[in-house]
Structure 1
Amino acid sequence: MQAKEAAEQLGITQRMLRHYEKEGLMDVDRSLNGYRSYSAADLRRAGRIRDFIATGFSVREIRAMSACLSDDGDGPCAGGIEKLTEKLEHIDRLRAELDEKRSAVLDRLVTLQNGLSTLSHH
């Protein structure tokens, strides 16, 4: 399958597919005319990469989990559970920080609104 079809099937751009390859996440065969030729296994691998990126993993983190990208890694893969657990903990920390910031903004907003309503009543 050529890049255009592969990208359409995966719901990503051809540029993203080339990016995966450039970053060493995929090694795609080329046909005699030099065009990239994606196998079913390549599509599954690209789909896994896309999904890891969508859940917040960086290219560097994904590269470190390359065992989780192949069809062999469809089940448990070396370090996969540990990496996913770490990512979840990171997301939870970010979420807690955002909740604190949101709360501070809401408090400030109430203070400002109360100040304005006091001024408008005088």
Structure 2
Amino acid sequence: MQAKEAAEKLGISQRMLRHYENAGLLSVGRTVNGYRHYTETDLRRAARIRDFIAIGFSTRELRAMKACLADEGAGPCEGGIERLTEKLTHIDQLQADLDLRRNAVLQRLTALRRDLAVAS
């Protein structure tokens, strides 16, 4: 199938498909007239790439996880559990940082409201 149909089927833009290819994550065949031609295998790989990006992986990180993107890597893949665990740890650290910031803003807001009430 051509890029437009593949993108629609995956729920992403054609530009994203080209980005996956330019990042070295997806290698797509071409028709005789030069158009990209996506196979079902390409679509499954692109869907995995899309899903990993959606949960926070960068294309750089995904290049190190190529085995997890292929059909053979649809199940357990070398380093997959370790990399997902690392990503989860990173997300937990980000969440903790956001919680600290949120609490600081709430404290500041409470103090400002209290000071306004006293001044009134």
Q: What TM-score, normalized by structure 2, do the two folds share?
A: 0.99
Q: What letter matches 2:16 in structure 1? A: M
Residue of structure 2 equivalent to 1:3: 3
The alignment's C-alpha RMSD in Å is 0.4
Displacement of 1:21: 0.3
State how many pairs are aligned. 120
Residue of structure 1 equivalent to 2:13: 13
5+ unaligned residues in a row in structure 1: which ranges?
A: none
1:31-110 counterparts in 2 under 5 A?
Answer: 31-110=31-110
Displacement of 1:32: 0.8
Q: Deviations over 1:43-82 (max 9, x none)?
A: 0000000000000001100010000000000110010000
Residue of structure 2 equivalent to 1:113: 113
Q: What letter matches 2:13 in structure 1? A: T
State, as a whole percentage, how many aligned pairs show the same letter.
68
Aligned to 1:5, the other structure's residue is in SS state helix
Q: What letter matches 1:96 in structure 2? A: A
5+ unaligned residues in a row in structure 2: which ranges?
A: none
Whole-angstrom distance in 2 between the partners of 1:95 and 1:23? 28
Q: What TM-score, normalized by structure 1, do the two folds share?
A: 0.98
Aligned to 1:98, the other structure's residue is in SS state helix
- Ranges of 4+ aligned residues in structure 1 off by more than 4 Å: none
